[in-house]
Every structure is written in C-alpha cells, then in structure tokens.
C-alpha cells in the first residue's frame, strides 16, 4: 500500500493577502491559526493550527476571562463579539497589557 501521510497536521501553508507579522492570528484560505513567519501579500507561509496554547495581544475592548471563547473574523480580528468562528479558549485571562493565553480550537465548521 502506498504511503498517504503528508503532514503531522500541526501546520498548513497559506497564501498571505497582506503584510503580516509572525505570531499574528490569521484566517486565510479557510484556515485559522497563528502565523509562523512574517510575510507580504502573495507569500506562502505556514500557520500553526494545532491545539496548543499561544500568547497573543487582543484589543483593549475585548474581555477575556479564563474559560471564555474568543472568535476570529475573516480579517483576522480576534474578539468576543463576532461569533463567526470560534478561535481559542482562554487559559490565562487578559492582563493589563492586553495579553491573553489562548488554546487554539479545532478547525471546525464556520457558523452560519
């Protein structure tokens, strides 16, 4: 039987649509994750999609207590109001610097 395994499934390559910095939450090509390298529009880079905890900055107006779910919009904005696609579950609440620790959620179906 031929080998069919092509990846460990922890990352996927996507094509960036704009200049983006390593560590940024993104939602591109139907995937959501954390950018593993900086790049410009048209660059093919990997995003981590594995269920692991990442430290990230959220907006000042975002509330994020331990156990809360944050969502990611098509433009990569992470917040608790746009419930379009569940992105991460908070494991360390937002601090005074707007930093949270979030466990990436599975690449499930988008809300309708």
Report the share of the chain in percent with pLDDT over 90: 69
Mapping DSSP onto H, E and C, the string for the chain reads: CCCCCCCCCCEEEEECCCCECCCCEEEECCEEEEECCCECCCCEEEEECCCCEEEEECCCCCCCCCCCEEEECCCCCEECCCCCCEEEEEEECCCCCCEEEEEECCCCCCCC
Query: How many domains are there within the chain?
Result: 1
Asked if residue 111 is part of any domain, the answer here is: no
pTM above the 0.95 mark?
no
Structural domain span for residue 35: 11-104
Q: What is the pLDDT of residues 25-63, one digit of tens each?
A: 999 888 999 999 999 999 999 999 999 999 999 999 999
Considering the domain boundaries, does residue 109 fall inside one? no
- Residue 78 within a domain: yes
Establish if 87 belongs to a structural domain. yes
Give a yes or no: residue 32 inside a domain: yes
């Amino acid at each position: 039987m031929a080998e069919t395994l092509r990846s460990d499934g922890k990352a996927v390559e996507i094509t960036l649509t704009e200049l983006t910095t390593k560590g940024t939450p993104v939602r591109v090509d139907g995937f959501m994750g954390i950018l593993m390298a900086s790049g410009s529009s048209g660059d093919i880079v990997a995003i981590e999609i594995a269920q692991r905890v990442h430290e990230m900055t959220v907006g000042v107006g975002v509330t994020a207590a331990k156990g809360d779910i944050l969502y990611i919009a098509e433009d990569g904005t992470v917040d608790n109001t746009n419930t379009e696609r569940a992105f991460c579950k908070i494991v360390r609440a937002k601090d005074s610097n707007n930093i949270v620790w979030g466990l990436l959620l599975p690449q499930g179906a988008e809300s309708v």
